[in-house]
């Protein structure tokens, strides 16, 4: 399927912002923070807990704001403005991570929280633009292509950053780990900002509500009306409950994988290489999910992802070697893009287009509130038991509940499969 120019530029934002996910959320910053925390006298398991708490706090703030901002952004012309504000927040504070001394671990967490809020906030409106840039029949394909581009796009700045960090660790170049990490943050911020420009220029809001007097007050009224008439959107809200649980498990594994590997004694260089290879594995599998969604119902492919993640949790409990971590990472790579992309497109097909921001606000509030529970749960159990593998095993419950509720989502119209 050939993408239109608007579809390409929309998908290119996945290429742009995935650099942040790879470098800041998943690899270099977690290692940078852990090193700073341990240097200050803290323990490895406690640093993992604090990293989980920081992720939970950032997602809590966005979760509370998401439906309100989304409802306001349903007014024509507002979606792009909100997207731009949060994009700027994320890019600027990613760049500002470079001014924080590594020994200031608490300030690092604060700045990270602000970058995470910018990233997550921009994604609310980016996801909602899916209904503006393509048709229902093309959503699965376009959404999975976006995620696939993200996996490849994230590897380019990450490889550059990783080479700098590794060379500094091997003392081949005269840079400390702190200096090399800060260069990585600069590269990430520039990549994210520059490749967002095509979307800012060409993607426009098509569906929306005409601007009216007192837009904020009326937005709260529309939001309340949606809650009161929840039966009219039964399919949407049952799906959101299922999504709440299974995407929590996905996000927890993505955000906590590096800290978990470090706690098992896996060195920084191995962690970076494993996560890089995972991106290359994820690229074709994201496209495969999109291709299979043309032959099988979307819910069926979501179940495939849930089952694979359940296996990952069980395997993660017994993890005790570098080889095990490699196997676990490859399993994650087979499904993380597919389950996220098809969740986004499935939801895009079942919501009213003119209220897409409001409903994607709910999509994000369910996703973000879920992301509070998983990292906090894993962090708490890691801290209490001193063994991170118990935290990984606890995540399996989220996939079981999510799969059970997903089974209850009505499957009536062909366009919703």
CATH number for 135: 1.20.1250.20
pLDDT band at 89 (very low <50, low <70, confident <90, very high): very high
pLDDT band at 259 (very low <50, low <70, confident <90, very high): low
Q: Where are the alpha helices (DSSP H) in 267-417?
A: 268-292, 298-317, 322-350, 356-385, 388-394, 396-406
Of residues 307 and 256, the one with the higher pLDDT is: 307
pLDDT band at 13 (very low <50, low <70, confident <90, very high): very high
Strand-pair partners of 363? none
pLDDT of residue 143: 86
Strand-pair partners of 209? 75
| Percent of the chain residues past pLDDT 90, beyond the cut | 16
Q: Does 242 fall in a domain?
A: yes
Count other Cβ atoms within 10 Å, centred on residue 390: 14
Number of domains the chain is built from: 1
Q: Does 214 fall in a domain?
A: no
Mean pLDDT of the 150-160 span: 85
Count other Cβ atoms within 10 Å, centred on residue 378: 26
pLDDT of residue 92: 96
Mean pLDDT of the 40-67 span: 76
Cα 62 versus chain centre, distance: 13
What whole-number distance in Å separates Cα of residue 105 and Cα of residue 40? 8
Q: Does 213 fall in a domain?
A: no
Q: Does 216 score more than 70 pLDDT?
A: no
Q: Does 212 fall in a domain?
A: no
Count other Cβ atoms within 10 Å, centred on residue 56: 21
What whole-number distance in Å separates Cα of residue 35 and Cα of residue 148? 32
- The full 3-state SS of 208-220, as one line of letters, equals CECCCCCHHHHHH
Mean pLDDT of the 60-88 span: 80
Q: Does 211 fall in a domain?
A: no
Mean pLDDT of the 138-159 span: 85
Tens digits of per-residue pLDDT, 338-382? 888 888 888 888 877 767 666 777 777 776 666 667 777 777 776
Tens digits of per-residue pLDDT, 117-130? 899 889 888 888 88
Could you tell me the pTM of the whole model? 0.74
Of residues 32 and 66, the one with the higher pLDDT is: 32
Count other Cβ atoms within 10 Å, centred on residue 175: 17
In Å, how far are 6, 118, 275 from 191, measured between CA atoms? Answer: 20, 15, 19
3-state class (DSSP) for residue 75: strand
Q: Does 22 score more than 90 pLDDT?
A: no
Tens digits of per-residue pLDDT, 218-253? 666 666 766 665 567 788 889 988 998 898 888 777
Q: Does 11 fall in a domain?
A: yes
Q: Does 240 fall in a domain?
A: yes
- The chain-wide mean pLDDT, for the chain, equals 81
Q: What is the DSSP letter of 189?
A: H
Q: Does 168 fall in a domain?
A: yes
> By CB neighbour count within 10 A (0-12 exposed, 13-18 middle, 19+ buried), where does 99 fall?
exposed
Contact call for residues 395 and 332 (beta carbons, < 8 A): no
* Domain hosting residue 104, numbered range: 5-205+219-416
């Amino acid at each position: 399927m050939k993408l239109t120019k608007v579809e390409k530029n929309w998908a290119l934002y996945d290429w742009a912002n995935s650099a942040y996910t790879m470098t800041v959320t998943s690899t270099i910053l977690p290692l940078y923070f852990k090193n700073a925390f341990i240097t200050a006298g803290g323990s490895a398991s406690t640093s993992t807990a604090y990293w989980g708490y920081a992720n939970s706090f950032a997602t809590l703030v966005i979760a509370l704001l998401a439906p309100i901002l989304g409802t306001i952004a349903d007014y024509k012309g507002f979606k792009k403005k909100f997207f731009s504000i949060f994009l700027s927040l994320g890019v600027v504070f990613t760049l500002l991570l470079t001014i924080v001394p590594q020994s200031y671990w608490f300030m690092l967490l604060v700045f990270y929280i602000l970058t995470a809020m910018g990233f997550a906030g921009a994604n609310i409106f980016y996801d909602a633009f899916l209904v503006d840039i393509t048709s229902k029949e093309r959503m699965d394909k376009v959404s999975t292509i976006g995620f696939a581009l993200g996996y490849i796009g994230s590897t380019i700045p990450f490889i550059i950053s990783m080479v700098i960090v590794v060379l500094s660790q091997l003392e081949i170049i005269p840079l400390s780990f702190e200096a090399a990490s800060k260069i990585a943050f600069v590269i990430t911020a520039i990549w994210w900002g520059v490749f967002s420009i095509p979307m800012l220029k060409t993607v426009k809001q098509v569906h929306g509500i005409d601007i009216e007097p007192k837009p904020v007050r009326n937005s709260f009224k529309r939001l309340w009306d949606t809650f009161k008439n929840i039966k009219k959107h039964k399919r949407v809200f049952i799906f959101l409950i299922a999504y709440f649980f299974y995407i929590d498990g996905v996000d927890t594994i993505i955000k906590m994988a590096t800290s978990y590997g470090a706690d098992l004694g896996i060195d920084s260089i191995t962690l970076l290489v494993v996560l890089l290879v995972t991106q290359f594995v994820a690229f074709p599998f994201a496209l495969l999910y999109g291709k299979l969604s043309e032959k099988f119902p979307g819910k069926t492919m979501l179940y495939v992802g849930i089952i694979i993640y359940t296996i990952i949790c069980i395997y993660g409990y017994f993890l005790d070697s570098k080889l095990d971590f490699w196997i676990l990472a490859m399993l994650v790579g087979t499904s993380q893009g597919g389950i996220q992309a098809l969740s986004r497109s499935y939801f895009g097909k079942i919501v009213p287009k003119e209220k897409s921001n409001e409903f994607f606000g709910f999509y994000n509030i369910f996703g973000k509130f879920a992301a509070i529970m998983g990292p906090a749960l894993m962090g708490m159990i890691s801290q209490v038991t001193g063994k991170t593998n118990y935290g990984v095993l606890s995540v399996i419950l989220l996939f079981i509940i999510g799969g059970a509720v997903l089974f209850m989502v009505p499957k009536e119209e062909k366009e919703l499969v």
